[in-house]
Structure 1
Amino acid sequence: MSALRHEWRLLSRSRWAMAALLLLLTLSVLAVFSGLREVRRQQDTIARVAALQQEELAQQAPKLTRDGNAGTVGYYAFLGTWDAPTPAAFLALGLRDATPYVLRVRALALQSQLHEGETYNPELALAGRFDLAFVAVYLLPLFLIALLYDLVSSERQSGRLAALLALPRAGRALWWRRAGLRAGLASACVLLPMLVGGVVSGLPAQALAAIAAAVLAYVACWTGLALLVGLRGGSSVANATALMGCWAALTLVLPTLGNAVLSRAVPVQQGAALMLAQRQAVHGAWDVSREDTLARFFRSHPHWQGTAPLPAGFHWKWYYAFQQLGDESVAPQVAAYRQALLARQRATQTLGLALPGVGLQAVLHRIADTDLLAQLAYQDAITAFHARLREQLYPYLFEERRFEAQDFARLPRFEPRAAALDIPWGPLAALALAGVLTCVLAARAAGRVATRDAA
């Protein structure tokens, strides 16, 4: 412990090292504050939209039920759905920054409504959000490099290395004390704001522990890598250059190349293509015989086959029949789209086994419930709600019953999905294993350097 206190005294005299740690702490605090503020903004938006929704439905009820026609209600009544952020969402906002978390739907064809939210300006989402995941994945390695790149070279260039190795507690333990102290302080600068933010947001202790373990494993990877480079005998400039090259390769170049390879290996069409195909099927139904449309509808929904014949002119049951047929016409494409998305998600997790930055992002986004799986789960909740809405309206449409004000009051209400805590143990274990292996290799290098310089 006295040796560690001595190392702390030496480190505290370095103004640039203390300034770097203070800057990292400041960035982490700002990232946590920004994430918490964004989560609060989303929660306020959901609450405000829900209140406006109730007010709008109350105003619409007398007008839409005046004629007692359920088709009018299904066409004009927009019902709200929402996906509330989890307590861990402030750490990694993920897809919540680019996909809708509030969506109003009606009883018409669903696919076009689900994917309308994808028509955002990509330039606005390019920079992403400044959250703790960004600090941990991209900035934390830079601070570790700054603190560790000249751990040995500075002593060698100043001529103190031989005398330092002659001390009783020199050798491998010396470098690990110094590296461990610097890495521990850098980890604390990230984890302490995260802990405070987790307490404020009500994050479960199990999630806090898993996030801390993931960050510490990532720190171990970069600490071991910095030691491997710094202990090989190069100058401080050479070490810094090599480590910056490693940072650029592991956090920018290789993930970008991996994403490009995955895009070609697992092609995924845009949701807008599904929206276009579904709309083309719906619009084309106006040119098809009404009887043929209903016959197709009755083949997949035989329980409505006993409905009265269509009268002359427009009728709502024909309109809603071809709306649902529009959804059913793109059902194979929707299934293929989701399978391709899930396949790419699995491939990305596999890529995270080789790239620690990708692995850490996957762990944080899964715990925060802001990844692709969360978005698909929200779409599933909307789909289930939309099916309940159709089931409630169809008896009035096909049995030609009046839709009264009390029926309007019984319209289904959206039930948000229950986001249970999901800790990805596989990617977390892989990240921890990478950290351990890197540190083991660095420990062996530290022993060889000590022996070589002592000789």
Structure 2
Amino acid sequence: MKALIFELRLVLHSRLALGAVALLLVLSALSVWSGLQASSAQRDALARVAASHQAEVRALAGKHANAADAGQVAYDTPHLTTNPPSPLAFAAFGQRDVQPFALRVRLLGLHSQLYESEAINPELAMAGRFDFAFLLVYLAPLFVIALMHDLVTGERESGRLRLLASLPAQAAVLWRRRFALRYALLWLALLLPLAAGVAVAGAGVAALGQLGLVVSLYLLFWFGLAAWVAGRAGTSAGSAAILLACLVGLSMVAPTALDAAIARGVPVSKGVELALAQRQEVHQGWDLPKPVTFEKFFRTHPEWQDTPPVTGRFHWKWYYAMHQAGDQAVAPQVAQYRASLLAREDWTARAGLLLAPVNVQVLMHRLAATDLRAQLAYQERIAGFHTQLRRFFYPYFFHERSFGKADFARMPTYAAAGAQGDLPAAPLGALALLALAAALLGLRQLKKLG
């Protein structure tokens, strides 16, 4: 214990080490605070949108109070869907900065409403967000480098390394103790603010344990790599340069190259193209004979084919059948689009099995339910709600019922489901293997110095 306290005093007497630990603690707290503020801002925005939406629906209910035309009501009435942030969203904001977390849908074609919202300002998306995941992946390794780059070379340059080498048993223990002490200091600097953020967000102890496991393994990977380089480098400057090159290569160059390769190998059309294709189908429907439109509609809705045909110029059931037929026409393109997005996500996860920085981002975003899969799950919930709306309104159209104030109260409402993250076993196992391998190599290299 005395030896550990002595080593701690040595570390804290170093201005570089003390400053690095203190700065990491401050940045960690700032990243957690920034994430909590962003999550709170989205929840406040959802509350304002919900209040405004309810006022609009009440006004429409008053306007269509008595024996209204159901088709006109369905056309005028928007329905709010929301995707509130998960308790852990503050730690890794992911797709929530660039994808809608609230969407109002009507009974019109679904795909044109889902995908026209994907147009975003690339300048706003480019900056990203300073959340805990960003700090962990890109900045935490810099602090590892600051504490570890001169672990061995500092002793060599001061002339103490030969003395340590003459005491092999004590030297091996000393290197392990210094390794563990520096690891513990940075681990605490990262985990203490994160634990406070989890408590404020109400995410629970289990969520903190999962996040802590990811943080611990990633930090261990960089400490192992830094120990291996420190044990082989000739000078402190050379050790720092090698580690910085590793950081740039593993967290920037390799992921960028892989992303470009995945984008080339798995092309994905833009969502707005699906919206335009659906609208084009609807526009063409105005020029088609009504029986042709209904024939397309009855393929998936045979329960309505025995209702009276439309003989006039316009009928709401023909109008909404035309929109549904437009959705059905682009359904194969939508399925291919979603499959391509998921294929890219899968290839990114596979790349993360070998690249720890990519792997950590995959794990953090999955835990926080802010990845692509969470966004697609939100779209699936919207599609399910849109189906509920159609089942509710179709009897009014096809049986020509009037729509009164009581029917407004019976309209389906979207139930916002709290996003639930998970910790996939394969990426976690790969990260654990990389971390343990790096740590073993690093400690073995340090042991050779004894």
TM-score (norm 1): 0.96
Aligned equivalents of 1:346, 1:165: Cα separation in 2 = 48
Q: In structure 1, what is the equivalent of residue 271 of structure 2?
A: 271
Q: What is the one-letter code of the residue matched to 2:321?
A: A
Aligned equivalents of 1:4, 1:330: Cα separation in 2 = 66
Instruction: Give the match's secondary structure for 1:229.
Output: helix
Q: In structure 1, what is the equivalent of residue 205 of structure 2?
A: 205
Q: In structure 2, what is the equivalent of residue 39 of structure 1?
A: 39
- How far did residue 115 of structure 1 move? 1.2
Aligned equivalents of 1:122, 1:287: Cα separation in 2 = 38
- How far did residue 326 of structure 1 move? 0.6
Q: What is the one-letter code of the residue matched to 2:295?
A: A
Q: In structure 1, what is the equivalent of residue 143 of structure 2?
A: 143
Q: In structure 2, what is the equivalent of residue 282 of structure 1?
A: 282
Query: Are 1:158 and 2:154 an aligned pair?
Result: no
Offset from partner CA, 1:324-368 (integer Å, 9 cap, x none): 011000111111111112222111111111000111111111110
Offset from partner CA, 1:27-84 (integer Å, 9 cap, x none): 1101000000111111111122112211111111122355621111111111100011
Kindly report which structure 2 residues correspond to 1:41-440, keeping only aligned pairs within 5 A, or say none: 41-66=41-66, 68-167=68-167, 170-440=170-440
Q: Is the 8 A contact 2:83 2:378 kept in 1?
A: yes
- How far did residue 192 of structure 1 move? 0.6
Aligned equivalents of 1:246, 1:23: Cα separation in 2 = 22
The verdict on how the C-alpha distance between 1:38 and 1:185 changes in structure 2, with shifts beyond 3 A counting, is same
Offset from partner CA, 1:188-241 (integer Å, 9 cap, x none): 111110000001111121221111111110011100111111101411111111
Greater shift after overlay, 249-258 or 46-55?
Answer: 46-55
Instruction: Give the match's secondary structure for 1:415.
Output: coil
Aligned equivalents of 1:80, 1:419: Cα separation in 2 = 17
Aligned equivalents of 1:298, 1:164: Cα separation in 2 = 84
- How far did residue 421 of structure 1 move? 4.4
- How far did residue 169 of structure 1 move? 5.5
Aligned equivalents of 1:165, 1:323: Cα separation in 2 = 79
Greater shift after overlay, 291-300 or 93-102?
Answer: 291-300
Aligned equivalents of 1:233, 1:400: Cα separation in 2 = 83
- How far did residue 409 of structure 1 move? 1.6
Instruction: Give the match's secondary structure for 2:275.
Output: helix
Q: What is the one-letter code of the residue matched to 1:45?
A: A
Offset from partner CA, 1:113-134 (integer Å, 9 cap, x none): 1112211101101111110000
Aligned equivalents of 2:205, 2:427: Cα separation in 1 = 19
Q: In structure 2, what is the equivalent of residue 453 of structure 1?
A: none
Aligned equivalents of 1:66, 1:225: Cα separation in 2 = 73
Aligned equivalents of 2:418, 2:160: Cα separation in 1 = 60
Aligned equivalents of 1:421, 1:321: Cα separation in 2 = 37
Aligned equivalents of 1:314, 1:108: Cα separation in 2 = 16
Aligned equivalents of 2:439, 2:114: Cα separation in 1 = 47
Q: What is the one-letter code of the residue matched to 1:386?
A: H
**After TM superposition, which residue ranges in structure 1, 4 or more long, deviate above 4 angstroms?**
none
Identity in percent: 48
Offset from partner CA, 1:290-323 (integer Å, 9 cap, x none): 2221222223322111222324222111110110
Greater shift after overlay, 309-318 or 194-203?
Answer: 309-318
- How far did residue 170 of structure 1 move? 3.1
Instruction: Give the match's secondary structure for 1:124.
Output: helix
Instruction: Give the match's secondary structure for 1:171.
Output: helix
Indicate the RMSD between aligned Cα atoms, in angstroms. Answer: 1.4
Instruction: Give the match's secondary structure for 1:108.
Output: coil
Q: What is the one-letter code of the residue matched to 1:236?
A: S
Q: What is the one-letter code of the residue matched to 2:42?
A: Q
Q: Is the 8 A contact 2:86 2:420 kept in 1?
A: no
Q: What is the one-letter code of the residue matched to 1:372?
A: L
Q: What is the one-letter code of the residue matched to 1:164?
A: L
Instruction: Give the match's secondary structure for 1:435.
Output: helix
Aligned equivalents of 1:274, 1:336: Cα separation in 2 = 11
Aligned equivalents of 2:16, 2:204: Cα separation in 1 = 36
Q: What is the one-letter code of the residue matched to 2:115?
A: H
Q: What is the one-letter code of the residue matched to 2:378?
A: Y
Q: Is the 8 A contact 2:46 2:84 kept in 1?
A: yes
Aligned equivalents of 1:133, 1:447: Cα separation in 2 = 33
Q: For structure 2, which runs of at least 5 residues remain unmatched after alignment?
A: none
Instruction: Give the match's secondary structure for 2:299.
Output: helix
Q: Is the 8 A contact 1:28 1:135 kept in 2?
A: yes
Q: In structure 2, what is the equivalent of residue 10 of structure 1?
A: 10
Q: What is the one-letter code of the residue matched to 2:150?
A: D
Q: For structure 1, which runs of at least 5 residues remain unmatched after alignment?
A: 451-455
Aligned equivalents of 2:241, 2:445: Cα separation in 1 = 19
Greater shift after overlay, 96-105 or 300-309?
Answer: 300-309
Aligned equivalents of 1:138, 1:362: Cα separation in 2 = 14
Q: What is the one-letter code of the residue matched to 2:142?
A: L
TM-score (norm 2): 0.97
- How far did residue 167 of structure 1 move? 4.7
Q: Is the 8 A contact 1:31 1:130 kept in 2?
A: yes
Aligned equivalents of 1:156, 1:301: Cα separation in 2 = 80
Aligned equivalents of 1:268, 1:234: Cα separation in 2 = 48
Offset from partner CA, 1:363-395 (integer Å, 9 cap, x none): 111110000111011001100100000111110
Offset from partner CA, 1:100-152 (integer Å, 9 cap, x none): 00100000000011112211101101111110000000000011011100111
Aligned equivalents of 1:64, 1:430: Cα separation in 2 = 59
Q: What is the one-letter code of the residue matched to 2:278?
A: Q
Greater shift after overlay, 298-307 or 161-170?
Answer: 161-170
